[in-house]
């Protein structure tokens, strides 16, 4: 049981993602907020439990970042659709994640690379993205809109963090491919 719980939590996050996306796109932030909170908790718990119980698996190593990217892209697309975030920002988040996933798929087919560990910049970008998503939901759900300043401040931070982590991933990918070919 312990061995499979981290992957089950990752799968739960994937299953929660469509409900989060529909709620956000419908601008029903009171419904989206607990769903997103549950998904965020699975993200925190799966990695913690996998490390604590030494239950790290190849499937989890692939599924966890896919689940994160799927949730982030869904939330950002939903927030843009609801008019709560600019489309360019949703496009930046989605574009970076699609490029990372495309590289990983290419590398799995064309190279011997099999590990794509997250970077500190990728993790920081994910934290910023989820913070902005949560701030947008709280701003919409709170009666006084008290998180509007946080949203305004997080938008440029997410844009810069996402772009920088994308460039960093690209640089690392080129470096790893070159190393492998030598």
Q: Whole-number mean pLDDT of the chain?
A: 89
Instruction: Give 72-109 pLDDT, tens digit per residue.
Output: 999 999 999 999 999 999 999 999 999 988 888 888 89
* pTM: predicted TM-score of the whole model, two decimal places: 0.86
Q: Which two tokens stand for residue 74?
A: 């869904």
Question: Nearest-5° angle of CA 31, CA 36, CA 38?
Answer: 105
* Banded pLDDT at 165 (limits 50, 70, 90): very high
167 C-beta neighbours (distance < 10 Å), count: 12
Query: Per the CATH hierarchy, to which homologous superfamily does domain 5-181 belong?
Result: CDP-alcohol phosphotransferase transmembrane (TM) domain (1.20.120.1760)
Distance CA 94, CA 69 (A): 8
pLDDT for 20 equals 96
Instruction: Give 42-81 pLDDT, tens digit per residue.
Output: 988 998 898 889 888 888 888 888 898 899 999 999 999 9
What is the mean pLDDT of the segment spanning 158-176?
93
Please give the span between the terminal C-alpha atoms of the chain, in angstroms, as a whole number. 43
Contacts of 37 (CB under 8 A, 6+ apart): none
What 8-state DSSP symbol labels residue 111?
S
């Amino acid at each position: 049981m312990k061995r499979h719980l981290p992957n089950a939590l990752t799968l739960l996050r994937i299953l929660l993602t469509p409900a989060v996306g529909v709620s956000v796109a419908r601008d029903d932030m009171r419904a989206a907020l607990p769903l997103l909170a549950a998904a965020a908790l699975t993200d925190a718990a799966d990695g913690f439990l996998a490390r604590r119980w030494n239950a790290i698996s190849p499937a989890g190593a692939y599924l966890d970042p896919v689940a994160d990217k799927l949730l982030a892209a869904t939330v950002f697309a939903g927030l843009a659709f609801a008019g709560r975030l600019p489309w360019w920002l949703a496009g930046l988040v989605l574009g970076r994640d699609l490029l990372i996933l495309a590289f990983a798929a290419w590398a799995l087919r064309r190279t011997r690379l099999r590990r794509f560990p997250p970077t500190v910049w990728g993790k920081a970008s994910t934290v910023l993205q989820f913070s902005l998503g949560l701030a947008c939901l709280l701003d919409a759900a709170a009666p006084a809109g008290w998180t509007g300043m946080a949203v305004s401040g997080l938008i440029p931070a997410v844009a810069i963090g996402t772009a920088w982590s994308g460039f960093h991933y690209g640089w690392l990918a080129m470096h790893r491919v070159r190393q492998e070919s030598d």
